Amino acid sequence: MKNVNSSSLLHTWTQVDQYLNDRLIPADPLLEQALNHNAAGGLPAHDVTPNQGKFLQLLLQIHGATRVLEIGTLGGYSTIWMAIALPDQGRIVTLEADPHHAEIARHNLSHAGLMDKVDLRVGAALTTLPDIQEEYREPFDFIFIDADKPSNPDYLRWALRLTRPGSLIVGDNIVRDGEVANPNSTDERVKGVRTFLDMVANHPKLEATALQTVGSKGYDGFMLARVLP
């Protein structure tokens, strides 16, 4: 096998992402403007890619989701993808710890004309989730976990409280450049993901899979779980 370095691989993965996005995902000025506004606001480039955003959108549409919870808003790019998938009566509750990030997300969502479908909460998710449980009595159809990885086990516990049989739970960024397979990792993010996956694997009311991904964001992956009766 030909030896290639990581930067060469990333270049190839980025080219393929661009090719697939050009072929399958029409350019959307609102989404592009959101990314530009995020960058101008100094937000880290941790957004999902367009093909990942479209994947989330299709999952919601296939599932017929009307109630969505997103843990980790950043600048609202993934929120826009998912809010577009919801019917007029649909609702996405999105939680963001950083007030600056939330301000930019609110601008992006307002500019996209989607704030009527979005409930954006500011504050650490573990402090706002009890309010969500109190205010939203109906279970969520879909939960997207994309926040600080050390808290993933706690987010999963909350996801199980806030869902119903048939609900879907997606955990993003679980491969961590392959470090997830390292049982001796001292990285708290990796340890959080490993505990999260162990909890999913051992829970009697979850069935799940995980997929590795490569692309413009590097080497990572996601977990998809369904809540059982």
pLDDT digits (tens, 9 = 90+) for 179-224: 999 999 999 999 999 999 999 999 999 999 999 999 999 999 999 9
What is residue 5's predicted lDDT score, i.e. its pLDDT? Answer: 75
What is residue 4's predicted lDDT score, i.e. its pLDDT? Answer: 57
The answer to whether the CB of 228 falls within 8 A of the CB of 205 is: yes
pLDDT digits (tens, 9 = 90+) for 82-129: 999 999 999 999 999 999 999 999 999 999 999 999 999 999 999 999
Mean pLDDT taken over the chain: 96
Quick check: 1 pLDDT over 60? no
Quick check: 49 pLDDT over 70? yes
pTM beyond cutoff 0.75: yes
Average pLDDT of the residues in 147-162: 98
Quick check: 52 pLDDT over 90? yes
What is residue 7's predicted lDDT score, i.e. its pLDDT? Answer: 86
What is residue 95's predicted lDDT score, i.e. its pLDDT? Answer: 98
Confidence of residue 2 (pLDDT cuts 50, 70, 90): very low
Report the C-alpha dihedral over residues 50, 56, 59, 60, rounded to 10 degrees: -120
* Percent of the chain at pLDDT exceeding 70: 98
Residue type (1 letter), 129: L
